[in-house]
Amino acid sequence: MTRAARYLGARTLAVAEARPVPPAPGQVRIDVAYTGICGTDLHILHGAMDHRVRVPAVIGHEMSGRIAELGEGVRGHAVGDPVTVMPLDWCGQCPACRVGHTHICHRLNFIGVDSTGSMQGSWTVPATILVPLPADLALEHAALIEPTAVAVHDVRRSRLAAGEHAVVIGAGPVGLLIATVARARGAAVTVLELDAHRRAVAAGLGLTTVDPAAVDVARQVREQTGDAGADVVFEVSGSAAAVRTATDLLAVRGRLVMVAIHSRPREVDLHRVFWRELEMIGVRVYQRDDYEEAIRLVRDGHVPSDRLISRIVALDDVAEAFEALEAGGDVKILLDCGGAR
């Protein structure tokens, strides 16, 4: 038997014994070492995704572990191999898939939301979603690869180049990772954040931070860029005010990257978009190349994993871990799911 954390609806999580699922042909069973809690998991707890989550549901998708068992026909993997997953299961037949955009499949199964996830000691998944890990990469650090892949995809979509100036609005976990990846690309990065604690975390990572409530941000960005404005703005906060501000910060032909999920329509200064020939770019999840780059960034220390992981807690304490993340003060909390290290 193993342990599994389940979302029961009504802001309730419970941990109980579960029986490991033997892998069918083409599947593998993973001993899960760590699972990170992300913003999507918090949305699930709040009931915002009850239309997709089948209660009771084991959620979670930011994970690392080792292969425990191989199903029939699985090749190229071995028991004991360290792995993470790219938790996307696409149909292969819809218009998006047919043109190669499988990550935004019209019928995408996001594993850990639409189907069973990794907040459990034993997890059985299709072998096709496995991503092998370097043997020398600590498994707690490897649990950051999925959110790092999000940041890599966002920066890749922005076409950010070395020497350009990027502004990141919002210093939550994804915002910090985007800023870190952008810096690794050779860009100058400014992070806007209202919350003093999050600003301090960003500053502690060596990032330039600004309190947008205390200064004229547009003027400051112009001063930093020789009156040109930012080449790219990443909107990661999800606030209406940030969307209105973002276009004011951009240079001619600047790119606005919409990272945050906005659940309602927002006002956008379309005259500014017209006047400066701005671009607005949507971003969603990641592709395989983003994972490979994320692994390199984490392995080589460009992502400061130890500073981003606030704490590691036992799976049995999952409810308290979610409460702590909601309260603020933590960047990334990992659940110790008990799998082989």
Assigned token pair, 150? 């999000």
Q: How far is Cα of residue 59 from the mean position of the Cα atoms in its chain? A: 15
Band (89; pLDDT cuts 50, 70, 90): very high
CA distance 282 to 62: 22
State which H helix or E strand residue 109 sits in. Answer: strand 109-110
Q: How far is Cα of residue 187 from the mean position of the Cα atoms in its chain? A: 21
Give the amino acid at 208: T
Task: List, in order, residues 6 or more apart from 180 with CB less than 8 Å away.
Answer: 151, 205, 207, 297, 302, 303, 304
Q: How far is Cα of residue 301 from the mean position of the Cα atoms in its chain? A: 18
Instruction: Encode pLDDT of 34-51 as tens digits.
Output: 999 999 999 999 999 999
Assigned token pair, 247? 């276009």
pLDDT of residue 169: 98
Band (256; pLDDT cuts 50, 70, 90): very high
Res. 92: pLDDT tops 90: yes
- Percent of the chain past pLDDT 70, that is, above it, reads 100
CA distance 89 to 251: 38
- Percent of the chain past pLDDT 90, that is, above it, reads 98
Instruction: Encode pLDDT of 138-190 as tens digits.
Output: 999 999 999 999 999 999 999 999 999 999 999 999 999 999 999 999 999 99
**43, 77, 101, 302: the active-site residue:** 43
Q: Classify 291 as helix, strand or coil.
A: helix
Give the amino acid at 93: Q
pLDDT of residue 21: 97
**2, 12, 35, 40: the active-site residue:** 40
pTM (two decimals): 0.97
Band (228; pLDDT cuts 50, 70, 90): very high
Q: How far is Cα of residue 108 from the mean position of the Cα atoms in its chain? A: 17
Segment 95-100 mean pLDDT: 98
Segment 265-278 mean pLDDT: 96
Segment 296-308 mean pLDDT: 97
Res. 263: pLDDT tops 90: no
Band (340; pLDDT cuts 50, 70, 90): confident
Instruction: Encode pLDDT of 57-83 as tens digits.
Output: 999 999 999 999 999 999 999 999 999
CA distance 247 to 270: 9
Q: Which long-range contacts (CB under 8 A, 24 or more apart) does 37-40 make?
A: 37/62, 37/321, 37/322, 37/325, 37/332, 37/333, 37/334, 37/335, 38/62, 38/147, 38/173, 39/172, 39/173, 39/174, 40/113
Q: How far is Cα of residue 101 from the mean position of the Cα atoms in its chain? A: 19
Band (235; pLDDT cuts 50, 70, 90): very high
Window from 158-162, 196-200, 216-220, 326-330 with minimum mean pLDDT? 326-330
Asked if 327 contacts 310 with a C-beta cutoff of 8 angstroms, the reply is no
CA distance 298 to 142: 7
pLDDT of residue 332: 97
pLDDT of residue 293: 98
- What rounded mean pLDDT belongs to the chain? 97
Res. 299: pLDDT tops 80: yes
DSSP 111: B
Work out the burial of residue 51: count CB atoms within 10 Å of its CB; fewer than 13 is exposed, 13-18 middle, 19 or more buried.
exposed
Segment 90-97 mean pLDDT: 98
pLDDT of residue 277: 98
What is the four-CA torsion angle of 186, 257, 232, 297, rounded to 10 degrees? -10
CA distance 184 to 151: 12
Res. 118: pLDDT tops 80: yes
CA distance 255 to 235: 11
Band (136; pLDDT cuts 50, 70, 90): very high
40 is catalytic: yes
